[in-house]
Amino acid sequence: MKKAVWLAAAAALLALPAAAQTIKIGFITSYSGLNGNLGPYMERAVRLYTKLHEKELPRGVKIELLVRDDTGPNPDKAKQLAQELIVRDKVNLLAGVIFTPNALAIAPLATEAKVPFVIMNAGTSVITTRSPYIVRVSFTLWQSCYPLGQWAAKRFKTSYTMVSDFGPGHDCEDAFARAAKENGGQVVGSVRVPLQNPDFVPFIQRVKDAKPDALMVFVPAGKTATAVLKAFSELGLKSAGVKLIGPGDVTPDEELQGMGDVALGTFTVHHYSADAERPANKAFVAAWKKEYGANEVPDFLSAASWDGMDMIFQAIKQQKGKLDPDRTMEIFKNYKNANSPRGPISIDPETRDIVQNEYLREVRKVGGRLANVELETVGTAVKDPWKELQKKK
Ligand code: PHB
């Protein structure tokens, strides 16, 4: 070969990009059905994180997001979608999932196919025990409702609980009642309302007749939370002196402005508020507004999805773009971030659940807007209390 030709060939080779490596993420969330408005709050966070951090990926590595709508709490649909993503699309990871029944339906598939499954919302404690390939970056209801019960017992003599009748509702009811009892509080009644199409009025009327000092409510974030607040207002509970309290799901940041002043004074315990003053949160919210508009705010589903992507990026970077499922799970189990928008977080390697702070918040008006204002940290580095209690048994 003549020298010039050889040089040209070598130059062409050098100019070739490294073999392109695509990480496929099967992203399942809800865009329709019950609280279908929530899906975009997760997807936007995943896309924004990817856009801002893509350049940190090993050379030639690309992320492909395969987005699917599970149509709300619909385990059959979720299972079918996960199956297709695993078998046909050959995804490296599964992620997303708002609703507990859907996460439980996907769990055995993740185990069988050895596909790591990053849960970015579904909060029933038991979920992570259903597959060694599940890791959860969101929360458990025990994490918020247990400290809420401790706090409420000191402040109110009597309380009533009202929860949606499915996994996370049952967990919240149990956690709150246990903590209240342990601290001398009295739960005078509890009701479970249907998850789909609940008519809150008769249930809230029952609560009104019982005259508790506080009503503790868990319903899924999204439009259901707004509906509960409206019913609470229409029946005049506030003026009857009943204080509304709950995990942060009842005053989610994305619903707050639409709820109106009825939300004012609601006390909640949760791990994320769009109005938190932490610099990492300010930066997150500013990036969100820049990308999606000045009136847009992320919510707790966005925060979990953002952190989940940070964890996924770590696994990709540490493995130089070639994901091995077991190695990926090891990296996930050791994930830590001192500077998440919600404060310091880590994954508990024993349970694969998130460890995070819990904050007491009150809905107040700040600069003419409703805000979940963080008042104090009621739990530091909280592990899922339900799993901690199981260990003691
Ligand atoms: C769940 O199904 O686990 C779930 C859904 C919505 C929430 C919290 C938990 O706000």
Mean pLDDT throughout 200-226?
95
Mean pLDDT throughout 268-275?
98
What percentage of the chain has pLDDT greater than the value 70?
95
Phi, psi angle pair for 122, to nearest 5°: -30, 125
- How many angstroms separate the alpha carbon of residue 318 from the centre of ligand 1? 31
**Alpha helix locations (H) across 261-324?**
279-292, 300-318
What gap in Å lies between CA 259 and CA 372, rounded to an integer? 13
Instruction: Count each helix (H run) and each strand (E run) in the chain, helices first.
Output: 13, 14
Task: Tell me the three state secondary structure of residue 367.
Answer: coil
Nearest-atom number in ligand 1 for the CA of 301 is 10
What six digits make up the tokens of 270? 């949760």
Task: Please tell me what DSSP assigns to residue 301.
Answer: H
What six digits make up the tokens of 237? 């509970």
Nearest-atom number in ligand 1 for the CA of 124 is 3
pLDDT at 393: 82
What Rg value do the Cα atoms of the chain yield, rounded? 22
Mean pLDDT throughout 33-61?
97
Ligand 1 close to Cβ of residue 150 (< 6 A)? no
What gap in Å lies between CA 165 and CA 140, rounded to an integer? 16
Task: Please tell me what DSSP assigns to residue 118.
Answer: E
Residue found by looking up tokens 């499954």 in the block: 117
Mean pLDDT throughout 176-187?
98
What six digits make up the tokens of 267? 């006390």
Mutation choice for ligand 1 from 34, 74, 121, 163, CB with most ligand atoms inside 8 A: 121
Mutation choice for ligand 1 from 35, 226, 228, 249, CB with most ligand atoms inside 8 A: 249
Task: Tell me the three state secondary structure of residue 393.
Answer: coil
What six digits make up the tokens of 251? 């005053």
Mutation choice for ligand 1 from 28, 29, 70, 99, CB with most ligand atoms inside 8 A: 99
Residue type at 168 in one-letter notation: P
Task: Please tell me what DSSP assigns to residue 345.
Answer: E
Mean pLDDT of the chain: 95
- How many angstroms separate the alpha carbon of residue 98 from the centre of ligand 1? 6
Query: Count of CB atoms within 10 A of residue 230's CB?
Result: 15
> What is the pLDDT confidence band of residue 246, given thresholds at 50, 70 and 90?
very high
What gap in Å lies between CA 68 and CA 81, rounded to an integer? 7
pLDDT at 56: 97
Query: Count of CB atoms within 10 A of residue 343's CB?
Result: 22
The three state secondary structure string of 214-230 is EEEEECCCCHHHHHHHH
What does the pLDDT look like over 278-318, one tens digit per residue? 999 999 999 999 999 999 999 999 999 999 999 999 999 99
Atom 7 of ligand 1, nearest CA residue: 220
**pLDDT at 5 > cutoff 70:** no
Mean pLDDT throughout 218-246?
94
**pLDDT at 48 > cutoff 80:** yes
pLDDT at 89: 98
Q: What pTM value is reported for the model? A: 0.95
**pLDDT at 17 > cutoff 60:** no
What percentage of the chain has pLDDT greater than the value 90?
93
**pLDDT at 19 > cutoff 70:** no
pLDDT at 4: 59
- Classify the C-alpha dihedral 333-334-335-336 as positive or negative: positive
Apex 169 CA angle, 265 and 303, nearest 5: 65
Residue type at 39 in one-letter notation: G
> What is the pLDDT confidence band of residue 186, given thresholds at 50, 70 and 90?
very high
Mean pLDDT throughout 105-128?
98
> What is the pLDDT confidence band of residue 392, given thresholds at 50, 70 and 90?
confident
What gap in Å lies between CA 58 and CA 111, rounded to an integer? 28
Mean pLDDT throughout 256-281?
96
**pLDDT at 2 > cutoff 60:** no
